[in-house]
A and B are shown apart, each in its own frame.
Chain A
Amino acid sequence: MRRRQARTAFAFLAPALLFFALLFFYPLARELYTSLFTGAAADRYTGLGNYTKAFGDPVARHAFWVTVQYGLGVVVGAIVLGLVLAVILNQRMRGRAVFRGILLVPYLTSIAIVGLLWRNILDPDTGVLNRVLHALGAPEQNWLAEHPLATIVCIAVWQQVGYTTVLFLAGLQGIPELYYEAAAVDGASVWHRFRHVTLPLLAPTTLFVSVIGVISAMQEFALPYLVTQGGPNNASDLYVYQVWKTAFNFRDFGYASALSYLLLIVILVLSLIQLKVGQRGEK
């Protein structure tokens, strides 16, 4: 009877297993295999050559460093701004539902639209922003040339902050009012209530947002591709954009696969560290 139930369960699981095997595990295994080869057709065995090459490759190292800066900027920016907005929107105020809806619009907008939109706004010669600044008599900006990485960090934060706000709002609404009342009775100021009640009780949400944010930021491709093409002078050359160029522009699928696997390892390690630190904090 038990064996029959197991077979039935397996049969129910089979479509999902098949789906993951074909579209997830097989490509992963295939990519690992490809990472051991070199050449335009990835047909010359090189063992771990692509992995050792990556550690000595200044372009890959630069792209990784740029990505770390990007990730830090986006995660910290989205968490801080998201938390601030969530606290504001958690107050009783008129039009709160409308503000919440508006905040989510950038997150719901396709990244392709977001990229093109900001590219057209920020273009120093033909963009809307400089027209407005010029009309106001303010100095014109050329941020895409002068601060390209900071600019795409800001665009990413602008897009993601609505999502983190909604998550923090959900977290805030899960904190019983009783805790705040008790703290107020004990004479805690607004800041102390935020510092000693809100922040600790939002730790699980913060952990979730930071883990998802880091994973997402380390894999960012669309913004450098759409807005800056990694430029100028590789200043916004994010790691996955570099992997894409290695595969589809430079036609080195073996090396691109190795770079991808190294990123996978980095993301796994970072996620584990964050989870460990988060769990310790919760204890």
Chain B
Amino acid sequence: MSERQRTNDLPPGRFDGTGAAPGERSTGWTRRGLLGAGAALGVGALSACGGNAPSGNGSGDKTFTLYWNAGHVYKEYEQLIAQFEKDHGITVNWQKFQWPDLLTKLTADMQSGQVADLVEEDGSGWPLSFAATGDAHPLDDYIAADGEQIGFPDDWFANSLRNGRYRGKTYSIPLHLTCNLLFYNKTMFAKAGIDKPPSTWDEFLAVAKKLTRGDQYGVSLNSDPGYLSPWMLQNGVKYWIPSSKQIMTPERAAIEAMQFQHDLIYKHKVSPAPSATSDYEGPEKLFVAKRAAMILSGPWDFAPIKQTAPDLDYGLALPLKRKVRTTYLAGSGVFIPAKAKHKELAWDLIKRLTALKVENAVTKETGVTMPRKSWAKQSWVQSDEQIGAVARALAYGQSWTNGIGATGKATELADVMRSAYQSTVVKNGSAAAAVRSIRANSAKLVGG
């Protein structure tokens, strides 16, 4: 019962308090009585604050709280959630955030114990960090009961599951699966007499040099260190080896990959130095402005490109190869916080969200690609120029973070990586020093 309710339940005349003069009491609402009422109402109002609080008060609560990425609010999901509300007679409090704000909100919630019922995560391993502190709910019992029916985990790309598992248990179900691949401007390629996109680092550099002229760059690199990972993986670098607690190994290959990034900007001058802002969409903006012939990106840029430059004639190429043809997998997943009030309902919503029929509808609506093998195999997916290219590239994808979230230090490690990467590509610093700084500072955090 809230303070306000308690106050309203008091019998009339109780606001006068114990020390009031008899004459005052006889008037009913005394000055002190009014002051007391004001104070009590104040408390009531304060206790009612927190309108954005995630969940209700336990049993009988008809509100289901869902945290979601603001960029993933699709019509298909809106209809699905409306049906979910109808089927269960509940209201879904659907809160949308950008990824960094979602993590901030989630961290504050975990601290306070007032958590959402279901949370979309960015695929980098948040659930592992929360599982390590007992704040994420294992899904194994649900999977044992329903896994075969929904095809989990057999129908999911195996590499997509890496950042959802902690100490043998599953904490997150992949929702979207994307990867980083090469976007290239077909018109610029044709004008330069280049008939096919590059396939290796050497070809990439040669093409980038040929396409750099005047205001136009061959490529535009990103200031976000996440975009470093394909180059590292292609050069055989592992970011995290859990068994030996090693970071960025082998060091020499990591330095080579970092140096290649540096040289594209400062030696060959085929890419502008990325801007050191919080905005990581710079390359996409240069690409649509026809000032960059190539960028590394993923399906998340399909819609912005279509919106800002619907006539842009661009193609997608398979990930590049140095020692190995590969790229990193991105995407998102969904997990249930340990203190969620409606875990069963959350699991039911997970099943609905990850159904093949829903995946197909979302892909058709938005171009977002999906983690089911059966989704990727469909002929309409394979035959679509853009979606098919991503679906084929997914086969080359691997997890860059490789479960580092389980150390509980993923965000600090990412900060170390960001600082070192920017020192090289934004500040023209030494690639070798940057890699050594990543290895040394990361070792302090994870004890490698």
A binds B: yes
Stretch touching chain B among A91-99, A204-212, A221-229, A258-266: A221-229
Q: Contact: B286 with A229, CB < 8 Å?
A: no
Q: Contact: B275 with A125, CB < 8 Å?
A: yes
Q: Contact: B282 with A123, CB < 8 Å?
A: yes
**Nearest CB of B to A113, in Å:** 15
Also in contact, A231 and B426, with CB within 8 A (given A8-B32, A126-B285, A250-B412) = yes
A142–B274 CA distance with the chains assembled, in angstroms: 10
Contacts of A14 in B (CB 8 A): 35, 39
Q: Contact: A119 with B426, CB < 8 Å?
A: no
Q: Contact: A123 with B279, CB < 8 Å?
A: yes
Count of A interface residues, CB-CB < 8 Å: 40
Q: Contact: A251 with B107, CB < 8 Å?
A: yes
Q: Contact: B103 with A231, CB < 8 Å?
A: no
Q: Contacting B104 at CB < 8 Å: which of A40, A125, A228, A248?
A: A248
Also in contact, A123 and B38, with CB within 8 A (given A41-B133, A233-B427, A250-B411) = no
Q: Contact: B282 with A232, CB < 8 Å?
A: no
Q: Contact: A248 with B419, CB < 8 Å?
A: no
A124–B215 CA distance with the chains assembled, in angstroms: 13
A145–B272 CA distance with the chains assembled, in angstroms: 12
Q: Contact: A234 with B419, CB < 8 Å?
A: yes
Q: Contact: B419 with A231, CB < 8 Å?
A: yes
Q: Contact: B411 with A144, CB < 8 Å?
A: no
Q: Contact: A253 with B111, CB < 8 Å?
A: yes
Also in contact, A142 and B273, with CB within 8 A (given A125-B220, A125-B285) = yes
- Per-position 1/0 for B265-288, Cβ under 8 A of A: 000000011011111001001100
**Nearest CB of A to B105, in Å:** 9
**Nearest CB of B to A263, in Å:** 20
Is the CB of A191 closer than 8 A to any CB of chain B?
A: no
**Nearest CB of A to B203, in Å:** 25
Is the CB of B12 closer than 8 A to any CB of chain A?
A: no
Contacts of A251 in B (CB 8 A): 107, 110, 129, 133, 408, 411
Is the CB of A19 closer than 8 A to any CB of chain B?
A: yes
Contacts of A229 in B (CB 8 A): 277-278, 418
Q: Contacting A142 at CB < 8 Å: which of B19, B38, B275, B423?
A: B275
Contacts of B38 in A (CB 8 A): 15
Q: Which of A234-270 contact B (CB under 8 A)?
A: 234, 245, 247-251, 253
Contacts of B279 in A (CB 8 A): 119, 123
Q: Contact: B103 with A249, CB < 8 Å?
A: yes
Contacts of A22 in B (CB 8 A): 46
Contacts of B272 in A (CB 8 A): 124-125
Q: Contact: B111 with A231, CB < 8 Å?
A: no
**Nearest CB of B to A117, in Å:** 12
**Nearest CB of A to B35, in Å:** 4
A128–B110 CA distance with the chains assembled, in angstroms: 42
A62–B415 CA distance with the chains assembled, in angstroms: 15
A234–B419 CA distance with the chains assembled, in angstroms: 6
A231–B415 CA distance with the chains assembled, in angstroms: 10
Also in contact, A18 and B42, with CB within 8 A (given A126-B285, A249-B415) = yes
Is the CB of B291 closer than 8 A to any CB of chain A?
A: yes
Q: Contact: B39 with A18, CB < 8 Å?
A: yes
Count of B interface residues, CB-CB < 8 Å: 47
Residue in chain A with minimal CB distance to B420 = A233
- Per-position 1/0 for A111-128, Cβ under 8 A of B: 000000001001111110
Q: Contact: A233 with B108, CB < 8 Å?
A: no
Is the CB of B289 closer than 8 A to any CB of chain A?
A: yes
**Nearest CB of A to B187, in Å:** 20
Contacts of A8 in B (CB 8 A): 31-32
Q: Contact: A145 with B35, CB < 8 Å?
A: no
Is the CB of B429 closer than 8 A to any CB of chain A?
A: yes
Residue in chain B with minimal CB distance to A237 = B419
Q: Contacting A231 at CB < 8 Å: which of B46, B132, B408, B422?
A: B422
Q: Contact: B423 with A123, CB < 8 Å?
A: no
Q: Contact: A228 with B427, CB < 8 Å?
A: no
Also in contact, A11 and B419, with CB within 8 A (given A41-B133, A145-B273, A227-B277) = no
Q: Contact: B276 with A232, CB < 8 Å?
A: yes
A125–B291 CA distance with the chains assembled, in angstroms: 9
**Nearest CB of A to B38, in Å:** 6
Is the CB of B395 closer than 8 A to any CB of chain A?
A: no
- Per-position 1/0 for B28-53, Cβ under 8 A of A: 00011001101100110010000000
Also in contact, A225 and B278, with CB within 8 A (given A11-B35, A231-B426) = yes
A227–B276 CA distance with the chains assembled, in angstroms: 8
Contacts of A226 in B (CB 8 A): 278
A226–B100 CA distance with the chains assembled, in angstroms: 12
Contacts of A42 in B (CB 8 A): 111
Contacts of B129 in A (CB 8 A): 40, 251
Also in contact, A232 and B223, with CB within 8 A (given A8-B32, A125-B272) = yes
Residue in chain B with minimal CB distance to A118 = B277
Is the CB of A7 closer than 8 A to any CB of chain B?
A: yes
Contacts of A123 in B (CB 8 A): 275, 277, 279, 282
Q: Contact: A15 with B289, CB < 8 Å?
A: no
Q: Point out residues on A near B: beta carbons under 8 Å.
A: 7-8, 11-12, 14-15, 18-19, 22-23, 40-42, 119, 122-127, 142, 144-145, 148, 225-229, 231-234, 245, 247-251, 253
29 contacts between A and B (CB under 8 A): A11-B32, A11-B35, A14-B39, A18-B39, A19-B46, A40-B110, A40-B133, A42-B111, A124-B275, A125-B285, A125-B286, A126-B286, A127-B275, A144-B275, A144-B277, A228-B276, A229-B278, A231-B276, A231-B419, A232-B423, A232-B427, A233-B420, A233-B423, A233-B426, A248-B108, A249-B412, A249-B415, A251-B129, A251-B133
A-B residue pairs, 4 tightest by C-beta: A232-B422, A232-B276, A232-B426, A233-B423
Q: Point out residues on B near A: beta carbons under 8 Å.
A: 19, 31-32, 35-36, 38-39, 42-43, 46, 103-104, 107-108, 110-111, 129, 132-133, 135, 220, 223, 272-273, 275-279, 282, 285-286, 289, 291, 408-409, 411-412, 415, 418-420, 422-423, 426-427, 429
Q: A14-B39, A122-B277, A124-B275 are in contact. List 7 more A-B contacts (CB 8 A).
A: A19-B42, A23-B46, A40-B133, A225-B278, A232-B423, A249-B412, A250-B411
